[in-house]
Amino acid sequence: MTEHIVTRYDNELRELAVLITQMGGLCEKALTDAMTSLQRQDAELAQTVRDEDDKIDDLEREVEERAIQMIARRQPMASDLREIVAAVKIAADLERIGDLAKNIAKRVIALQDQSQPKQIVRGLDHISEIALHQLKDVLDAYTGRDAVKALAVWERDSDLDAVYTSIFRELLTYMMEDPRNITLCTHLLFAAKNIERIGDHATNIAENIHYVATGETIAMDRPKSDESSMTTVEEGSDD
């Protein structure tokens, strides 16, 4: 009887991890599609990103509900409790990543009637590639409960910040050179900030994975090198 209960509990833990993995896959797709819609000025694809965000929200709610039920029924201890609590925290970060990708898509829709010089948009391609790589790596670290890989993601956060700062300065230059660029560049600045924030949430996830795998928090200050004046900007997700 005890063995049966343990097996069911192990299955519940695995099912929780599967939900996190599903959320991660949807977040990767949301960011990829949002950036593709920006590059192609594809408002239809951008709207799809916005519509698909509901799936990520639904999965987060399911993770929370299952976690609460497991804690109430199983009263887990030590590593199992860390696993369940971390799943809730990671799901929350993934939900925010989905919202941030949706915000990028909203900018695409707002810009659909405006000309977008390729050289202005190109910088966002680079930062989105870095953020997507961070997200893929941290999801791999979660699958393998790999503290070393999680720490590597955590340490690379400053690289993303540095690229964001460079983009921030470049877009400000475009605005100063030609006032006609102000509206476009303002939208792109917010899009770039959303991408930088995705990197921050990937770093949060890395910290939780490290804690699950080792039982210890990362005993260092988080590496940050964002020198822009938009360090606190994060758009809402009301629609």
pLDDT of residue 122: 80
**Could you report the per-residue pLDDT of 121-134, keeping only the tens digit for each?**
788 989 999 999 99
pLDDT band at 231 (very low <50, low <70, confident <90, very high): very low
**Residue 222 pLDDT:** 66
Range of the domain at 26: 2-214
Which residues 6+ apart lie within 8 Å of 151 measured at CB?
A: 206, 210, 218
Only one residue has tokens 């593709």, namely: 36
pLDDT confidence of residue 82: 92
Residue 231 covered by a domain: no
What's the CA gap between 98 and 57, in Å, rounded?
8
**130 belongs to a structural domain:** yes
Higher pLDDT, 171 or 2: 171
Q: Give pLDDT, residue 51.
A: 97
* 114 pLDDT tier (thresholds 50, 70, 90): confident
224 belongs to a structural domain: no
**pLDDT for 135-170, tens place per residue?**
999 999 999 999 999 999 999 999 999 999 999 999
In order, the DSSP letters of the chain are -HHHHHHHHHHHHHHHHHHHHHHHHHHHHHHHHHHHHHHHT-HHHHHHHHHHHHHHHHHHHHHHHHHHHHHHHH---HHHHHHHHHHHHHHHHHHHHHHHHHHHHHHHHHTTTS---HHHHHHHHHHHHHHHHHHHHHHHHHHHT-HHHHHHHHHTHHHHHHHHHHHHHHHHHHHHH-GGGHHHHHHHHHHHHHHHHHHHHHHHHHHHHHHHHHSS---SPPP----SS-TT-------
Burial class for 161, CB neighbours closer than 10 Å (0-12, 13-18, 19+)? buried
Q: What is the pLDDT of residues 176-220, one digit of tens each?
A: 998 888 988 999 999 999 999 999 999 999 999 999 999 888 867
Is residue 210 situated within a structural domain?
yes
- Name the nearest CA neighbour of 117 among 33, 174, 160: 174
- Structural domain count, the chain: 1
> Does pTM surpass 0.95?
no
Query: Is 229 within a domain?
Result: no
Look at residue 222 and tell me if it is in a domain.
no
Q: What is the pLDDT of residue 232?
A: 44
Residue 230 located in a structural domain: no
So what's the pLDDT on residue 3? 52
Q: Predicted confidence band at 4 (pLDDT cuts at 50, 70, 90)?
A: very low
Q: What is the pLDDT of residues 27-82, one digit of tens each?
A: 999 999 999 999 898 999 999 999 999 999 999 999 999 999 999 988 888 888 99
Whether residue 17 lies inside any domain: the answer is yes
pLDDT at position 5 over 70: no
Q: What is the CATH number of the domain that holds 23?
A: 1.20.58.220
What tens digit of pLDDT does each residue of 83-108 get?
A: 999 999 999 999 999 999 999 999 99
* Mean pLDDT of all residues belonging to the chain: 89
